[in-house]
Amino acid sequence: MKLHTRTTGTGPPLVLLHGFPLSSAMWLAQREGLSGDHQVITPDLRGFGGSRLGDDEPSIDAMADDVAELLDTLSLDKAVVGGLSMGGYVTMALARRHPSRLSGVILADTKASPDTPEAAANREAVARRVLDGGDLLDSVPNLLGATSLERRGMVVGRVRGLVGAAPAQASAWAQRAMAARPDSFDTLRALSVPALVIVGDEDKVTPVADAEAMAKALPDGRLVVIGRAGHLSAIETPETFNRTVSAFLKEL
């Protein structure tokens, strides 16, 4: 699996993995804001953006293996890897399957617990709906915080555009992959590198309590709650998100 990738800057590598149902386009502000000190690598996860879906069964582990192969292609032994939402699930799978490839971890607006049966059933319903021609635009209000919905019209429009571009087959595949993901708390407890947990204080999808649980499980973790941001904190409050990530990277 060859992932389409947008890369900017030079320096220690930072890989950022996008959320569902977006693409590496979501990391525009991070490529611009963090590339002065780092090589910022933002792949399209399989099926999204410019990456093909392939024939594998839905699996977060397969997505993590794709990222490990990308590191091989770039001749990188290690990198700081961060992910938002679904990208966080992939980051935790990478920590479980390829821990030696990580020099640091960033987990933004995500959670380590698996889906409840009800959540998994809802993902299957969404997968079937998009395959039948439905769209995902009704998810936009849940992805954004109240402040963005009320005051950041350009952010709302941008997210609607990103969500509207998501391919149906990839969206269904990813929903089924996320529904099948395992509990990752043991993975976090075993993590031997520094980790940063970020969450928007208005995140309704993976709220602050989920972030606190992850930070508590990490041997070397720190938690930052970003004010006036929802589930897409990197898009809603990019300056604060970038400052938070930059401060963490300087510690490494």
pLDDT in tens, 124-168: 999 999 999 999 999 999 999 999 999 999 999 999 999 999 999
Mean pLDDT over residues 58-76, rounded? 98
User: Cα(173)–Cα(162) distance, rounded to whole angstroms?
Assistant: 18
pLDDT band at 1 (very low <50, low <70, confident <90, very high): confident
Helix (H) and strand (E) counts in the chain: 12, 7
Q: Could you give phi then psi for residue 126, rounded to 5 degrees?
A: -65, -45
What global pTM score does this model have?
A: 0.98
pLDDT for the residue numbered 65? 98
Query: Smallest Cα–Cα separation from 107: which of 186, 221, 235, 28?
Result: 221
By CB atoms closer than 10 A (0-12, 13-18, 19+), residue 191 is: buried
- As a whole number of angstroms, the distance between CA 59 and CA 61 comes to 5
Concatenated DSSP letters of 191-226? --S-EEEEEETT-SSS-HHHHHHHHHH-TTEEEEEE
CB 107: neighbour CB atoms within 10 A?
33
Over pLDDT 90: what percentage of the chain? 100
Residue 242 has pLDDT above 90, yes or no: yes
